[in-house]
Structure 1
């Protein structure tokens, strides 16, 4: 018999109205029992566990990613699949982080949520939850997935693209793993090949101290210098196009050189949803390469941030981290 563990972290799906707006509702378990009672026998059986405290996903921190990963690790042998109920705002970050913490996974983990609370009319929560539960019983899926509005996406390839549509997520640089409509269609060729063994990696110190900045016209070297003064261990830079930056400003590239000399690992991703970073394509990108910046290939900003944070939190040497940032660990990027 298939059995799923539902981990409720908070988020819109389980929220209720209050005087100050929607807030997490701790009574979701009873609501789910009433809602799913007619589907008994058609879905995997499940246990329900709520995080304490429940979190709006805007309040999620790296330590919360690893709290979720720890719960999956500690219950791994008892369940055939897992469903993580999560807010949409940072869902792509959490799905990415879980993929790095739970490498070599041999069971499905579905991260899902909703745009409208379960208790409200026209809620998308029911369909998302039912589909995620069904998929959690799959023998084919052996990775961290994000499921939303009929689309099964690789967790570390997903991005949120809408706050006003039920079709809130997409996977710009990798095909959907499957679609749930009248039929459930899984693209077996797109699924991650299972590893030889589980390689769960949950660091003792969750925060790798990574900063994410977005380039914009007029960005000054002073701005970058203030970021570097903070001495983060990692810096993810959302560049233009294929990895371009304002390199006419020598002081700007000098700050990046200073950062790499200080041991700060700098990785360039693209502001374009559909992208592949190639720092050698244009002179404006080559200057970053000479400054010691690493190209983030076709990773999303969320996946790059979570990956760099994870590698730093795990305590790998700088040279090893640089190598791994350009290596696909769990399908998060397409190697060049």
Structure 2
């Protein structure tokens, strides 16, 4: 029996058409466009249906409610399909892939996000291969987690990051192996795949509207400018530091702000600005002070994964101490200690 795949068309460049104001999505256009692709109707392809979001989403406008909307669409159709392909704009695809990896509890089916840099309607579009290969991967069922497929590479969703604004190989997995590579054959890195939890019931944990911030350290930063945002309403902040977790001393201007945030109950998670490598708090004197001020290590998590993980843990209603512990634990394959 053929596998059945649900294609969720949320929006993005892949389905846009030219207008007088530039490329824009067109309601009702995309189903006919992909139905006309012979390969999608090949005997070797799984059966597929498409659900078009209304309104179609611009990925730059994706936020918590849109993540929940995508999660609900997967939950509501979970029993009817063997896998899912989520068509999404590239700008925030890595954030959505990270969010879904935490939201979809007990997942035991493929959820593959993809899109394109060039609309399907244009010559040289990368949309066709990304869509066909993603659908084949979803139908094969070898992966049972949230992934991102783009430019011949299959990446764990919460390990992905957008690395190029205009290249056809637009995403990278800086701190983890590719899960598969598509050449003449699709070659899976079986040892790197997640194993689904045993006897776990699938369910959706919707994200709550939580105040989360990201602060990138740079040479000459005036930390005092950011003190005003460190209030009790700020639940979590991702601090992008130099190297392995280092910060400039500047008369220790940052540490009182971090301590203030800690006292307010804000979870401060330290990630690195380097794409490759890990945060090791305490390796240098300039990073050990962060631990003393109450910060936790994000190890080699991407900023996208750290943001999504904070949303997830706060949405579970956990205590601050529980969240601090779990931020440093591997929950969905998002970090390596």
Q: With the length of structure 1 as denominator, give the TM-score of the two structures.
A: 0.96
Contact 1:66 1:206 in 2 (8 A): no
| Structure 2 SS opposite 1:105 | coil
- 1:37 Cα deviation after fit: 6.3
SS at match of 1:16: strand
What per-residue deviation string (whole Å, max 9, x for no partner) do you get for residues 54-87 of structure 1?
Answer: 1110010011111111111111110000000000
Give the aligned partner of residue 286 of structure 1. 288
Tell me the equivalent position of 2:22: 21
1:208–1:311: 8 Å Cα contact kept in structure 2?
no
Q: Distance in 1 between matches of 2:74 and 2:178?
A: 24
CA distance in 2, matches of 1:214, 1:25: 37
Instruction: Find the counterpart in structure 1 of residue 191 from structure 2.
Output: 189
Local SS of the residue matching 2:109: coil
CA distance in 2 between counterparts of 1:239 and 1:97 reads 22
Q: Distance in 2 between matches of 1:128 and 1:38?
A: 12
Shift in alpha-carbon separation, 1:258–1:199, aligned structure 2, 3 A: farther
Which residue, out of 71, 74, 82, partners 2:73?
71
Cα contact 1:267–1:294 (8 A) shared by 2: yes
Which residue of structure 2 lines up, in the alignment, with residue 307 of structure 1? Answer: 309
Displacement of 1:38 in angstroms is: 6.5
The offset of 1:127, in angstroms, is 0.3
CA distance in 2, matches of 1:123, 1:13: 9
Q: CA RMSD in A?
A: 1.3
Residue by residue, what CA displacement relative to the aligned partner does 1:132-188 show, whole Å, maximum 9, x if unpaired? 000011232100000001001100001100011100001000000000111110010
Cα deviation, residue 48, structure 1: 0.6
Cα distance change, pair 270–105 in 1 and its aligned pair in 2 (3 A) = same
Q: Is the 8 A contact 1:5 1:83 kept in 2?
A: yes
Match in the other structure for 1:3:
4
Give structure 1 stretches of 5+ with no counterpart: none
Partner Cα distance (1:289, 1:230) in 2 = 20
Deviates more, 1:148-157 or 1:214-223: 214-223
Asked if 1 retains the 8 angstrom alpha-carbon contact of 2:232 and 2:266, the reply is: no
Deviations 1:89-129 (A, max 9, x none): 00000000000001321110100000000000100000000
Could you tell me how far 1:199 is from its partner in structure 2?
Answer: 4.9
Specify the alignment match of 1:41 in structure 2. Answer: 43
Q: Count residues in correspondence.
A: 334
Matched, 1:202 2:205: yes
Cα separation, 2, equivalents of 1:163 and 1:198? 38
Give the alignment's TM-score, normalised by structure 2: 0.96
Ranges in structure 2 where 5+ consecutive residues have no aligned partner: none
CA distance in 2, matches of 1:327, 1:200: 21
Q: Give the match for residue 214 of structure 1.
A: 216
Counterparts of 2:123 and 2:197, CA distance in 1:
42
Matches within 5 A, 1:1-336: 1-26=2-27, 27-36=29-38, 39-196=41-198, 197-203=200-206, 206-229=208-231, 231-334=233-336, 336=337
CA–CA distance in structure 1, aligned partners of residues 40 and 61 of structure 2: 35
Instruction: Give 1:25 shift.
Output: 2.1
Determine the C-alpha separation between the residues in 2 that align with 1:235 and 1:253: 14
Runs of 4+ in 1 over 6 A off after TM superposition: none
